Amino acid sequence: MLDLSRVNFYLKLSRPIIWIIILPYYLFPLGGRLDLLATWRFWLGLLYFTFPVSIMIFGINDMADTDVDKYNPRKMLSYFGGQDPISEFSGVWKVILIANLLPLTTISIVTSDWVFYPFFFAVGFGLNIVYNFKLFALARKAPLDLLCCPAGLLLEKLFACHLNQVPLPNTGPCVFYIASALIIQVRGALTDMDSDARGGKRTTV
């Protein structure tokens, strides 16, 4: 029987309020191509960058940050992560794998591309592990904490262009992606600065 409390828990971890920040980075490199709205490729990619990608990013982050999130008032808000003990995260790895591998396998089958999409998942998953967990835990090693967010958004851009069969953007748009990603990350770090300090987490800000 479906446990609605767990569904709500996983949805909260995925930060639906932040989907509106992630989705534009899927749309930007497509250059306003309205004809793509009539393709399955566009919609599969768009849906993939809602819950599946978000539960991977923020689920892993929340598992790694239980020691500092207990001090974070933002985590008391609805659908903005949580302040749960590590024992509550026992099923998150399974949800991350299922939520990502099912849509990516579907995309691979339909596109007959069994190289790019598994590669995308491996790199994206690896970035999140390196960012959050020891031995690396770049999220706690300034200024290395600033590397992974821009890398992730550039990876999203690459995914969007490959799936929708559009050319990669020039240098200018890529600089914009990197700069805006850094602004988003620094703003979030500033918001969490006090709670991170209480939990012993050191970031660039």
The closest alpha carbon to 96, from 49, 51, 46, belongs to 51
Query: What pLDDT is stored for residue 202 in this prediction?
Result: 84
Q: Does the pLDDT at position 13 exceed 80?
A: yes
Structural domain containing residue 142 = 4-80+88-193
Query: What pLDDT is stored for residue 26 in this prediction?
Result: 97
Average pLDDT, the chain: 93
* pLDDT, average across residues 177-205: 90
- Would residue 186 count as lying in a domain? yes
* pLDDT, average across residues 105-122: 97
Query: What pLDDT is stored for residue 159 in this prediction?
Result: 98
**DSSP, residue by residue, 72-131:** -GGGGSTTS-----GGGGTTHHHHHHHHHHHHHHHHHHHHT-SSHHHHHHHHHHHHHHHH
- Would residue 25 count as lying in a domain? yes
- Would residue 44 count as lying in a domain? yes
- Give the Cα separation of 114 and 112 in Å (integer): 6
Evaluate whether 112 touches 91 at the Cβ level (below 8 Å).
no
Other Cβ atoms less than 10 A from the Cβ of 157: the count is: 20
Other Cβ atoms less than 10 A from the Cβ of 113: the count is: 14
Q: Does the pLDDT at position 38 exceed 90?
A: yes
- Would residue 198 count as lying in a domain? no
- Give the Cα separation of 155 and 119 in Å (integer): 11
Q: For the chain, how many structural domains are there in total?
A: 1
Looking at 31-35, 63-67, 70-74, 124-128, which range is the least confident one?
70-74
* Chain position carrying tokens 């990603």: 181
Query: What pLDDT is stored for residue 2 in this prediction?
Result: 79
Q: pLDDT digit string (tens) for 76-103?
A: 776 777 777 788 898 999 999 999 999 9
- Give the Cα separation of 188 and 81 in Å (integer): 14
Q: pLDDT digit string (tens) for 126-149?
A: 999 999 999 999 999 999 999 999
Query: What pLDDT is stored for residue 100 in this prediction?
Result: 99
Q: What is the pTM of this model?
A: 0.94
- Would residue 199 count as lying in a domain? no
- Would residue 205 count as lying in a domain? no
Looking at 55-59, 80-84, 86-90, 116-120, which range is the least confident one?
80-84
Q: Does the pLDDT at position 70 exceed 70?
A: yes
Query: What pLDDT is stored for residue 78 in this prediction?
Result: 66
- Would residue 201 count as lying in a domain? no
- Give the Cα separation of 57 and 185 in Å (integer): 13
Q: Does the pLDDT at position 205 exceed 90?
A: no
- Would residue 204 count as lying in a domain? no
